[in-house]
Amino acid sequence: MTPTLLVIPSIDIHDGKTVRTVRGIPELDCKGYGDDPVEMARIWRAENAKLLHIVDYDGSRDPSRKNLRVVREIVEAVIIPVVYSGGVRNFEDARALIDAGVYRLALGTMTVKASAEFERTLDEFGPRKICAALDVEGDKIVVGGRTERTDIDAIDHARRLAEAGVERFVVTDVERNGSLEGPNCDLAKRVADASGKRVTLSGGARNKDELMDVQRLAEFGVDSLIVGRALYENRFPCQKLWRVAEAGVFA
C-alpha cells in the first residue's frame, strides 16, 4: 500500500501577525483570513489538519524572540503537534521553544553557522524533536532567514546531516515559496535518495493534481507537504486535503 501523504498548513508570522510570503519575503497579508495567527491555527484545526508548521520571520533578525508568546498561545490553542522554524541560533533558543510546547524544531542556519550547537541540540532532544530545514536556491543552501546564499550544495549537506543523526528534512525551494509555480518534486526526491531519510516538501503547491504528484514520491520517503498560499487563497477544498495521520506516521 502506498503511504499516505500528510498535508500541513503553514502559518507565517511577522510582528505577531499572520502574513503571506512570496519567495521567502513576508510581504503580503493573508486576505480574507485576518492577521491573528492563533485564530488561524484554530481554523486549520477545525478543518481537520493533523499538524501545523510555523515560520517565524522575525526570529532570524531579532534575538528577543518577540513572537514566543504567540507561539505558546498557538500550542495551547490546538491539540495537534506544532513544528517551528525561524532564527533558532543555539541550544538555549531550542530549549525555550520546546519548553513552550513546540513538538519539533526545523533548524536551518544553525546547521551551517553553529554546527556544534546543532549537534548538541540534536543529541539532547533527539531526532524526533529536531529536524533539518534545507532552504535551497539554485541547489545551494540559503541561510539567515533566506537572505544569504552559501556555496554549500544542498544534497551534500543533506548527506552530512543524515550521517550526524538527522532523520527528517524540511526542504524548501525558496524561489517557489509562495509563488504558486508548483512544488519542486525533483529536489525533494534527490534529498530523500541521497540521505535515505524522510522528507517534508515545502513551497509552490497550487492544486490537487500537484498533491498527487507529491503523493507519488511517498515510496522514496517524501511523506508530507507544507502548503501555505494555496490554502489561504482557497485553491482547493480544505476538507478534501487532510489525510488520516495514524499514530506514528509523522515520525
Q: How high is the pLDDT of residue 207?
A: 84
Helices and strands of the chain, counted as H and E runs: 9, 12
- How do the domains of the chain map onto residue ranges? 6-240
The pLDDT score that the predictor gives to residue 251 is 62
Q: What pLDDT is attached to residue 83?
A: 98
Contact 21, 238 (CB under 8 A): no
CATH architecture of 6-240: Alpha-Beta Barrel (3.20)
pLDDT at site 3: 66
**pTM confidence score:** 0.90
pLDDT tens digits for the chain (251 residues)?
566 789 999 998 888 887 766 555 555 444 445 589 999 999 899 888 999 999 998 877 776 678 899 999 999 999 999 999 998 999 999 999 999 999 999 999 999 999 999 999 999 999 999 999 999 999 999 998 878 899 999 999 999 999 999 999 999 998 876 556 789 999 999 999 999 999 999 988 888 888 889 999 999 999 999 998 888 777 776 555 555 444 445 56
Report helix, strand and coil shares of the chain as percent, to nearest 5.
35, 25, 40
Residues with catalytic roles: 12, 135
Q: Rounded to whole angstroms, what are the CA distances from 157 to 45, 122, 207? A: 34, 16, 30
pLDDT at residue 209 in the model: 87
Shortest CA distance to 177 belongs to which of 55, 49, 65, 37?
Answer: 55
Phi, psi of 239 (to 5 degrees): -65, -20
Nearest 5°: phi and psi at 209? -65, -35
Give the C-alpha separation, 125 to 9, whole Å: 24
